[in-house]
Amino acid sequence: MRRDIRITDIRITPIAFRDGPLLNAAGIHEPWALRAILEFETSDGRIGISETYGDAPMLAVLAQARPVIVGLSPFDLNVMEERVRATVRPVAGAVEFTLAPGSHSAKNAAKVISAFEVAMLDLQGQIVGAPVVDLLGGAVRDRVPYSAYLFFKYAEHHGKPYAPDAWGEGLSPAQIVEQARRMIGLYGFRSIKLKGGVFEPAHEIACIRALSEAFPGMPLRLDPNANWSLQTSIAAAPELDELLEYYEDPTPGLEGMAELARHTRLPLATNMVVTTFDEFRRGVALGSVKVVLSDHHYWGGLRATRELARMCEVWGLGISMHSNSHLGISLMAMTHVAASVSNLGYACDTHYPWQEEEVIAGGRVAFDEGAVRLPASPGLGVQLDREALARLHEQYLACGVRQRDDLAQMRKYQPDFAGTSPRF
């Protein structure tokens, strides 16, 4: 009987992989990005997998919830949710990383539920012989489009911990166009996002203009991660009007975005001001945004993402997906849920092109004209490469990073870097 299958063990392995010197509103990426890989083992010898944040506070809350899930059936998603909500507690001394809503401790239960849900859905799929998307109601598309996610960047990390990446420096408009050409050449993306909030807005707008000239008709987005004041965001809007598909989180707060919305015809998008269902309700009342960038890692999983998509449909908002540095297991989870959402209106974000290392068997996930094809095999459709897992875990042990801190990393380059926000 399927219901007799039980979760007998949960392994949580923190890993570190090389990440580029990518600039953002907070500072700069460290040389090592952290993730946690979860393996749920069952009484009939299956392994369900999942990928989530690997910062120390996240590892602590995953460990808190782990014992109350062992013994459940992989089909007990609702009981799992109840038990996680009753168990997960804030971690003392946890530092929040403001650019990544996933690092906020208020989202601890949702983050753990998401990580557990994905592994349990992977198991369910294996047990019934169906891909995860079928457990979410089935696919409305067989390939999920992603966008070229450009970053301003240095050529090398501070201290040169390893050989430089192949992307080179990305600071000037010409270098950003070159970065886009390379990324589109390799992956075939059909829309472009530029991570902003790094340089003076005039420079970032010049980069967007250069991209628009180099790639006529290509949908473009700019995301200053709330590093522009309301005044700056309002002033920049007319210049961006004809250039952008949407204007992502230029300025902080639900109220700030609502005020900006009254001054621009550009659709405003967010992964910063609408990150919970409570913020969704307040954002709708204020008219803060037109597009919600969901992320199953902190919204509470694949099913919660579908609920969010339904709410967006009801309230006339667009939906797409946000990402943080991630590997192929997260990419496949995103792909399954995105393939099930009929109102997905934009190509999803992914940091995947910036990651050279992988933890899944068979190498990197393939992109076809900027899209990831849904696998037909049961569950998530990807398996762990155990040697790679062991190697990336060794890197975690050796790298010394335990919690993402882009500001401290930036101060290695510029000791007087204030990191105040909004900076412009």
Q: Based on CB atoms, which residue is closest to ligand GLR, 275 or 340? A: 275
Give the interface segment with Mg ion, choosing from 14-22, 114-122, 221-229, 236-244 (CB under 5 A): 221-229
Read off the amino acid at residue 414: Q
Site string for ligand GLR, 185-214 (x = CB under 6 A): ----------x-------------------
322 flagged as catalytic: yes
Report yes or no: 225 and 195 within 8 Å, Cβ to Cβ: yes
Measure the CA–CA gap between 300 and 311, rounded to whole angstroms: 15
Q: Which one is catalytic: 195, 290, 326, 336?
A: 195
Site for ligand GLR in 64-103 (CB under 6 A): 99-100
Residue 175 CB, nearest approach to ligand GLR (Å): 18
The item of ligand GLR, Mg ion, none sharing an interface with residue 195, based on CB under 5 to 8 Å by kind, is: ligand GLR
Q: What is the C-alpha to C-alpha distance for residues 174 and 387, in angstroms, rounded to an integer?
A: 40
296 is catalytic: no
Interface pattern 231-260 for Mg ion (x via CB under 5 A):
-----------------xx-----------
CB distance 103 to 92 below 8 Å = no
DSSP letters for 287-332: T--SEEEE-HHHHTSHHHHHHHHHHHHHTT-EEEE---S--HHHHH
How many of the chain's residues bind ligand GLR (CB under 6 A)? 13
Question: Which of the stretches 296-304, 321-329, 335-343, 363-371 binds ligand GLR when contact is defined by CB under 6 A?
Answer: 321-329
As measured in angstroms, the least distance from the Cβ of 293 to ligand GLR is 7
409: DSSP letter: H
Exactly one of 111, 157, 322, 326 is catalytic; name it: 322
Cα distances (Å, whole numbers) of residue 316 to 201, 295, 309, 359: 30, 19, 10, 38
In this chain, which of 227, 275, 324, 421 binds ligand GLR, going by CB under 6 A? 324
Q: Which of 271, 320, 340, 403 binds ligand GLR (CB under 6 A)?
A: 271
Question: Exposed, middle or buried, 268 (CB in 10 Å: 0-12/13-18/19+)?
Answer: buried
Binding mask 354-383 for ligand GLR (x = CB under 6 A): ------------------------------
Closest CB 230 distance from ligand GLR, rounded Å? 18
Dist CA 15 CA 147 (whole Å): 26
End-to-end CA distance of the chain: 61
For Mg ion, the binding residues in 269-298 under the rule CB under 5 A are 271
Residue of 348, 365, 335, 352 whose CA lies nearest to 140: 335
For residues 90 and 63, give the distance between their C-alpha atoms in angstroms, rounded to a whole number: 12
- Under rule CB under 6 A, which residues in 23-62 are in contact with ligand GLR? 24
Query: What is the gyration radius of the CA atoms in the chain, in angstroms?
Result: 21
Footprint of ligand GLR (CB under 6 A): 22, 24, 99-100, 195, 223, 225, 271, 322-325, 349
Footprint of Mg ion (CB under 5 A): 223, 248-249, 271
